[in-house]
């Protein structure tokens, strides 16, 4: 199966190894992966900050960078959820673009969803002998619609012990520019999230969103805490 790889900004700029691991996972399960090096931001930061004209320009570039008829896979429920739920708002009176939004949406998948529900693969032969707890990010469950896909994949990782934390679906406090504009509230939220994770005795907080994990790991490092964030793709490609 041919698939197109969509790597979000945070991963491209800050966590390139997660992008590499995503590529290797897709190749491991038999996909022929197409990567367009001209790809860039999907436009979500601009959209969420009210700059819809700039977001629309990036949406149009996204349409040019990908073939809408070939599956597009990304290690992010946030970016894929944004495209699925909000791109159409940028083209309210453009019939052809709205049809294109529908086509892209039907062929756009977050990594764990693609593995579990499209390929029907949950065991990737990964080995990760650590205790982990799962942060279920706002965007992945509320916009994209993930359910138990990350848990199904983690349950097959050899040596891994998954421990449920309290309020696993509560926001970590990142929220894009929210963390900058409302720093005190954001810090209180991530402190609560990390406190719940620490209470499980886990060594890692695993998630599907690099932006959430950046927020969580930065707080842990600043406070000198013995836990850090890790992307699901990094675990699934661990040997």
Q: Which pLDDT value is given to residue 41?
A: 95
Q: Which pLDDT value is given to residue 15?
A: 96
Q: Which pLDDT band holds residue 179 (cuts at 50, 70, 90)? A: confident
Q: Which pLDDT value is given to residue 182?
A: 85
Average pLDDT of the segment spanning 74-97: 97
Look at 5-19, 20-34, 168-182, 222-236 and tell me which has the smallest mean pLDDT. 168-182
pLDDT tens-place string over residues 91-122: 999 999 999 999 999 999 999 999 999 999 99
pTM above 0.85, yes or no: yes
Q: Which pLDDT value is given to residue 181?
A: 82
Task: Using the predicted structure, report yes or no on whether residue 229 has a pLDDT greater than 90.
Answer: yes
pLDDT tens-place string over residues 130-146: 999 999 999 999 999 99
pLDDT tens-place string over residues 11-24: 999 999 999 999 99
Average pLDDT of the segment spanning 179-188: 86
Q: What mean pLDDT, rounded, does the chain reach?
A: 96
Average pLDDT of the segment spanning 196-214: 96
Instruction: Provide the token pair at 154.
Output: 């983690």
Cβ–Cβ under 8 Å, residues 238 and 28: no
Residue ranges, comma separated, of all CATH 3.40.50.11810 domains in the chain are 122-236
- Nearest partner of 75 among 47, 30, 108, 118, judged by Cα: 108
Q: Which pLDDT value is given to residue 153?
A: 98
Task: Using the predicted structure, report yes or no on whether residue 88 has a pLDDT greater than 90.
Answer: yes
Q: Which pLDDT band holds residue 174 (cuts at 50, 70, 90)? A: confident
Look at 52-66, 78-92, 167-181 and tell me which has the smallest mean pLDDT. 167-181
Q: Which pLDDT band holds residue 180 (cuts at 50, 70, 90)? A: confident
Average pLDDT of the segment spanning 214-232: 95
Q: Which pLDDT value is given to residue 25?
A: 98
Q: Does the domain at residues 122-236 carry the CATH identifier 3.10.150.10?
A: no
Average pLDDT of the segment spanning 70-89: 97
């Amino acid at each position: 199966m041919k698939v197109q790889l969509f790597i979000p900004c945070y991963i491209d700029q800050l966590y390139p190894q997660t992008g590499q691991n995503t590529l290797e996972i897709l190749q491991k399960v038999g996909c022929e992966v197409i990567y367009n090096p001209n790809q860039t931001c999907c436009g979500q930061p601009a959209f969420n900050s009210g700059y819809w004209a700039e977001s629309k320009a990036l949406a149009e570039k996204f349409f040019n960078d990908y073939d809408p008829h070939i599956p597009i896979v990304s290690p992010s429920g946030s970016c894929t959820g944004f495209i699925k739920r909000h791109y159409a708002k940028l083209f309210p009176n453009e019939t052809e673009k709205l049809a294109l939004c529908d086509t892209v949406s039907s062929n756009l998948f977050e990594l764990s969803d693609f593995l579990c529900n499209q390929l029907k693969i949950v065991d990737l032969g990964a080995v990760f002998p650590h205790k982990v707890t799962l942060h279920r990010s706002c965007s992945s469950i509320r916009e994209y619609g993930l359910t138990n896909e990350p848990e199904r994949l983690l349950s097959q990782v050899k040596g891994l012990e998954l421990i449920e934390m309290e309020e696993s679906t509560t926001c970590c406090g990142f929220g894009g520019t929210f963390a900058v504009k409302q720093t005190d509230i954001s810090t209180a939220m991530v402190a609560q999230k990390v406190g719940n994770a620490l209470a499980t005795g886990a060594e890692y907080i695993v998630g599907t969103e690099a932006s959430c994990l950046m927020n969580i790991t930065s707080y842990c490092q600043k406070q000198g805490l013995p836990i850090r964030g890790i992307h699901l793709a990094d675990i699934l490609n661990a040997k």
